[in-house]
């Protein structure tokens, strides 16, 4: 760090605006600051690996793809003009790398074919048997309603075992649902960011998210309903 | 029963959009009207809301020391 740096982090090419963490880190990276690079790794690397893993056959290949992505970032950072957000630029590089690699490995089905909502079947959010059947006086209303998740459930929900259950449930989802719930709910992306990154229509994105969330809720409900049974 | 009254089986299909506030206003009003009389659907929505919050807490994957070391080496090489 240069001694004259206290108020203004970089000269000339600075892209940072106040409160813009990525912009500050990008300025640092351009100036050759290793700490800025490490901070960007910490912010994005794990999420990039999770995203790459949706395109390539295994985790090791995903790690490779992300490594190539960072190499491209290091090479291209001086040309990055800050007209789009750094995050958008970064993910675009990642997706290009991942798609190229997926093609090379010739094992991946085009992602766009995987994520079409229709390709993942028509599924009800809740088992239809839990509602009164057509013809019944209360047709369509709960026959077997969900139980309120009270204080005792809350304790279990916060346990690390619950997180493992959710992770396993996400891993078992069809690829489109998995990608959307991962990016929206786990990584906290907005709907337009997800549509853009995955090449999905807004409608497909919403349908996939809804199905995925419904399944995770169902898994949690089942898990909590086992409550009466002793753990081991 | 009113003809266009929402039933529980339909409400659960709107749950995600309802929570994300992406339902058109009139559909949202139908859900709200249903919730006034249906504690079960209120419980259901509370479960969905809790589920989404739990998903948001999963983001714990951190950068492994190994990945960090090899990427920092790349960085140092790129500066030479």
Can you give the pLDDT of all 232 residues of chain A as single tens digits? 444 334 433 333 455 555 689 999 999 999 999 999 999 999 999 888 877 877 777 888 889 999 999 999 999 998 888 777 898 889 889 988 887 887 766 544 555 555 555 556 678 999 999 999 999 999 999 999 999 998 888 888 888 889 889 988 988 888 789 889 988 999 888 999 888 877 889 999 999 999 999 999 999 999 998 754 444 4
Is B12 in Cβ contact with A126 (below 8 Å)? yes
Q: What is the pLDDT of residue A84?
A: 76
DSSP secondary structure string, chain B?
--TTPPPHHHHHHHHHHHHTT-S-HHHHHHHHHHHHH-HHHHHHHHHHHHHHHHHHTTTT----HHHHHHHHHHHHHHT-
Q: Which of B46, B63, B78 sits opposite A46 (nearest CB)?
A: B63
Contacts of A186 in chain B (CB under 8 A): 55-56, 58-59
Domain B8-78 has CATH 1.10.10: yes
Place of tokens 């509370």: B46
- The full set of domain ranges for chain B reads 8-78
Q: What is the pLDDT of residue A6?
A: 40
Q: What is the mean pLDDT of residues B41-52?
A: 97
Distance in angstroms (rounded) separating the CA atoms of residues A210 and A140: 20
Q: Which residue of A has its CA nearest to B52?
A: A185
Is B78 in Cβ contact with A74 (below 8 Å)? yes
CA A43 to chain centre: 14
Is residue A64 within 8 angstroms of chain B, CB to CB?
A: no
Residue closest to A85 by CA, chosen among A21, A36, A132: A21
Question: Other CB atoms closer than 10 Å to residue A82's CB: what's the count?
Answer: 17
**Tens digits of residue pLDDT in A74-115:** 999 988 887 778 988 898 899 888 878 877 665 445 555 555
Is residue B80 within 8 angstroms of chain A, CB to CB?
A: no
Say if CB A123 and CB A211 are below 8 A apart: yes
Question: What is the complex's ipTM, to 2 decimals?
Answer: 0.83
CA A186 to chain centre: 5
pTM: 0.74
Is A128 in Cβ contact with B17 (below 8 Å)? no
Is residue A195 within 8 angstroms of chain B, CB to CB?
A: no
What domains can you pick out in chain A, each with its CATH number?
21-105 (1.10.1740.10), 112-228 (1.10.10.10)
């Amino acid at each position: 760090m240069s001694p004259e740096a206290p108020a203004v982090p970089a000269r000339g090419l600075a892209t940072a605006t106040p409160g813009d963490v990525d912009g500050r880190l990008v300025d640092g990276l351009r100036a050759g600051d290793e700490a800025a690079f490490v901070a960007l790794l910490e912010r994005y690397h794990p999420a990039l690996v999770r995203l790459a893993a949706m395109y390539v056959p295994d985790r090791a290949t995903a790690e490779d793809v992300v490594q190539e992505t960072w190499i491209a970032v290091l090479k291209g950072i001086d040309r990055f003009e800050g007209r789009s957000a750094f995050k958008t630029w970064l993910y675009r590089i990642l997706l290009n790398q991942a798609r190229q690699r997926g093609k090379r490995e010739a094992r991946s089905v085009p992602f766009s074919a995987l994520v079409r909502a229709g390709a993942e079947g028509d599924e009800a959010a809740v088992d239809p048997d839990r509602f009164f059947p057509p013809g019944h006086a209360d047709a369509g209303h709960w026959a077997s309603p969900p139980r309120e998740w009270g204080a005792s459930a809350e304790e279990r929900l916060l346990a690390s075992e619950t997180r493992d259950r959710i992770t396993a449930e996400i891993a078992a989802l069809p690829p489109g649902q998995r990608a959307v719930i991962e990016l929206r709910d786990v990584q906290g992306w907005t709907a337009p960011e997800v549509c853009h990154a995955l090449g999905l229509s807004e409608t497909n994105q919403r349908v996939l998210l809804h199905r995925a969330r419904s399944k995770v809720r169902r898994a949690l409900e089942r898990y909590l309903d086992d409550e009466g049974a002793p753990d081991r | 029963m009113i003809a266009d009254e929402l039933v529980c089986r339909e409400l659960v299909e709107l749950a995600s959009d309802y929570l994300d506030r992406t339902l058109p206003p009139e559909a949202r009003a139908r859900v709200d009207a249903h919730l006034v009389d249906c504690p079960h659907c209120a419980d259901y929505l509370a479960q969905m809301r809790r589920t989404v919050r739990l998903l948001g807490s999963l983001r714990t994957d951190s950068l492994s020391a190994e990945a960090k070391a090899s990427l920092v080496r790349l960085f140092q090489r790129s500066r030479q």
